[in-house]
Structure 1
Amino acid sequence: MYYIVYKGNCYSTLNVLFSPKLSGSDFFKILELIEFPLKESENVLMKYALTELVSNSVRALHERKRLREVAVDFQVTGNFIKCVITDYAGGFDPAVLPIDINADSRAIDILSDEFQMYREKHSYNRFGIGLVSAKLALDAFHLVFIDGEGKEVSWHGEGSVDGTRITAAKRISRPEKDGEPLAVVRRARRHSIFTKVRINGEEEAYLVDISMKGVRLLCIDRTRVRKDQTITVNVGKIDGMGDGLCFTLRVRWLHREGLFWQIGGEFVRGDDFSTEQLEAILDKIAFDPTQIPGLVVIRGS
């Protein structure tokens, strides 16, 4: 049996609720924490393709001023990794594209008159090949328009649809590993999240886990943090928390994993926040994560 691996845990499904306050490059960093049952080169191709698609959704949400989360749902099904990307950015007129969005990518000619006119129309700021490249990297691709309830509808002009749903799939290409876990160990009141923070007011990092005891942080490429150091971490504004949350941590461990430094820290109890405030934050993450701007919630089963 095959699994999606996220931070050492194995899942059959993995759901990412991605905040449009973050960028496509932030989404790619999340994907770098995920391992699909694919050969290394195909793993990279799939991640680039999905980043292109999610970036398109985020850009459309900003253009329409509809800052609603993008749902990215992964599933191992049969011999495929399936990914469904759903946004409520208002859709687009498929007639303005130089291609039939659901056509076989192998039949697309990027040197055609349609592509050239598209590039000229957009003063060579858009080339029309990002979506084509994403389609070519995948084994299956299908896009539909949806209404506010997520039901499939047809495009009949501006305002006739609420968003898009893309179903993409890649055939599993990696041999099954012996002894892969069959279940995920869950710990009470622990939530897998992803949001930007600052360490000691200057070093950019990501908060990827939080519990009543502490947090796990992620730094890209390098960090000035050291074991047993006491650090402050600033999180963006959270409803009911004024200008944001600042807490003090004692670093218990850190290790390098590929491009990332993972840092584990325990809360140093003080005047930063109360136990009740932390409980309230965990409740918001569990039951209404949209109250926390810029937060990405990741759930697996």
Structure 2
Amino acid sequence: MEQFNNMDFTGFDDNKLENIRHSLLELVNNSIRAHKERQEDAVIILRFTMTPQELIIILQDKGGGFDKKSLPYDIDLDVNEIDINDQYFLDYREKHGYIRFGMGLFITKKAFDTFILKFTASDGSLNDRYEKGISTGTFIELRSHI
């Protein structure tokens, strides 16, 4: 965790950098939770690439993936169309005992210029849709222009 708080990427203002850090903490926390729930001991991959034009981050886990329909919003919508104060969102939080807020993917999508969510299969292929019994993990690609 200390390493996350000390991350610095040249070219981003303090506010943008804090949003990137917060998003990554949320995503890594989601991956760790999924691994624990499945008793999965595979590594969680978090790869950073910095070019003169953008920051690229890849997160890949073996936490089983998830059905996007289980989220309290449609993650495929433009982030400005997602209402985090609607009743469905509030019901989701209550249903999960206020342990899961459904915010990690939302704030990540809001923080980055590009947000790509895919699901891995046991053969390593990437799919746009989660398939129960076939999906073995989550793959997220994030890009932010400098």
**TM-score interval (norm. to shorter):** 0.7 to 0.9
Corresponding residue for residue 169 of structure 1: 143
Corresponding residue for residue 155 of structure 1: 130
- How far apart, CA to CA, are the structure 1 residues paired with 2:3 and 2:18? 13
Corresponding residue for residue 105 of structure 2: 131
- How far apart, CA to CA, are the structure 2 residues paired with 1:32 and 1:116? 29
Structure 1 residues 88, 41: closer, same or farther in 2, change over 3 A? same
Corresponding residue for residue 70 of structure 1: 44
Q: Deviations over 1:5-39 (max 9, x none)?
A: xxxxxxxxxxxxxxxxxxxxx2xx22344321212
1:46–1:170 CA contact under 8 A, matched in 2: no
Q: 1:86 aligns with which of 45, 54, 60?
A: 60
Corresponding residue for residue 142 of structure 1: 116
Note the C-alpha offset of 1:133: 2.0
TM-score relative to the length of structure 2: 0.87
Unaligned runs of 5+ residues in structure 2 are: none
- Match of 1:155, as an amino acid? Y
Q: When you count strand as a share of all residues, which structure comes out higher? A: 1
- How far apart, CA to CA, are the structure 2 residues paired with 1:31 and 1:111? 29
Q: Does 1:44 align with 2:18?
A: yes
TM-score relative to the length of structure 1: 0.45
Does the residue aligned with 1:132 lie in a helix, a strand or coil? helix
- Match of 1:122, as an amino acid? H
- How far apart, CA to CA, are the structure 1 residues paired with 2:35 and 2:63? 5
2:122–2:134 CA contact under 8 A, matched in 1: no
CA RMSD of aligned residues (A): 1.8
- Match of 2:90, as an amino acid? Q
How many aligned residue pairs are there?
A: 144
Task: Choose between structure 1 and 2 for higher RCO, CA contacts under 8 A separated by at least 6 residues.
Answer: 2
- How far apart, CA to CA, are the structure 1 residues paired with 2:131 and 2:100? 25
Structure 1 residues 40, 111: closer, same or farther in 2, change over 3 A? closer
Does the residue aligned with 2:139 lie in a helix, a strand or coil? strand
Structure 1 residue runs of 4+, over 4 Å off? none
- Match of 1:35, as an amino acid? D
Structure 1 residues 73, 114: closer, same or farther in 2, change over 3 A? same
Percent of aligned pairs sharing the same letter: 35
- How far apart, CA to CA, are the structure 2 residues paired with 1:123 and 1:74? 34
Corresponding residue for residue 95 of structure 2: 121
Q: Does 1:98 align with 2:92?
A: no
Does the residue aligned with 1:66 lie in a helix, a strand or coil? coil
